[in-house]
Amino acid sequence: MTANLQTDTEKLAPNLPWFALQVRTRQELGVADYLQGKNYECFLPLYKRRRRWSDRIKEVEVPLFAGYLFCRLNIHDRLPILKTPGVVQIVGCNHQAIPVDEREIHAIQVMLASGVPNQPWPFMAVGDRVRIESGPLLGLEGILLDSKGNHRLILSVTLLQRSVVVEIDSAFVTSLRTPQAKQLVKQGKYLPHSIAV
């Protein structure tokens, strides 16, 4: 009976947190495969990129965050992770591993599952936060960028200081700015420079 009770308790326990692993460049896939073979839950986001060879151009899948992958782990039992060939470190600050925000991982997973074209983007810490109100990215929040007439949503992984940009229809977006800022926009008194709603 205690075995059943433990199983029920384990089912109710929350998942282990996600951590970012810094790995040697071009070894992301091998490290992810190795860790999954050891029963770790890994997430290695990939995107399609055109590569040019001398005789042809081919579309290949490459890591969205070069040199990084995400892994759920018990931080108190991290030695097997650190001994994994290709792993450099668990990302953190002051020698303390810091979990990645679950919502940021979820946003990247939803974006990849939607099939919407995406690519790596420089990390942005400023700009208007927005929420997608309809379409395949419904409910995601990020930073809206206006680039040459095309609207893009920037999803970020704060811990890595990395971002991803995805094209969106600005008609599906609601600003998360303060009511005062929204009022200034309506009155035409606030026009953001490179970031637009």
pLDDT tens-place values along the chain, 197 residues long = 333 333 333 343 368 999 999 999 999 999 999 999 999 999 999 999 888 888 888 889 999 999 999 999 999 999 999 999 999 999 999 889 999 999 999 999 999 999 988 888 756 444 567 888 888 888 888 887 766 667 778 888 888 888 888 887 766 777 776 554 444 344 443 333 322 22
C-beta separation of 65 from 50 below 8 A: no
DSSP lists the bridge partners of residue 145 as 152
CATH class for domain 101-190? mainly beta
Calpha distance 184→192 (Å, rounded): 11
Residue-wise pLDDT tens digits, 90-103: 999 988 999 999 99
CB-CB contact of 161 with 67 (8 Å): no
The answer to whether residues 126 and 163 touch, using CB atoms and an 8 Å cutoff, is no
Helix-, strand-, coil-residue percentages of the chain, each rounded to 5? 30, 35, 40
* Closest of 197, 128, 127 to residue 168, by C-alpha: 197
Q: What is the dihedral of CA 74, 78, 83, 86, to 10 degrees?
A: 60
pTM, rounded to two decimals: 0.67
| 174-188 confidence digits (pLDDT tens) | 777 655 444 434 444
Domain with CATH 3.30.70.940 in the chain: 1-100
Spatial distance between the Cα atoms of 185 and 32, rounded to a whole number of angstroms: 46
DSSP readout, 38-101? TT--EE--EEEEEEE-SS-EEEEEEESSTTEEEEE--GGG-HHHHTSTTEEEE-EETTEE-PBP
Residue 130, both tokens: 């927005």
**Which fold would CATH assign to domain 1-100?**
Alpha-Beta Plaits (3.30.70)
Residue 107's H or E segment, with its range, is: helix 102-114
Where exactly does CATH 2.30.30 map onto the chain? 101-190
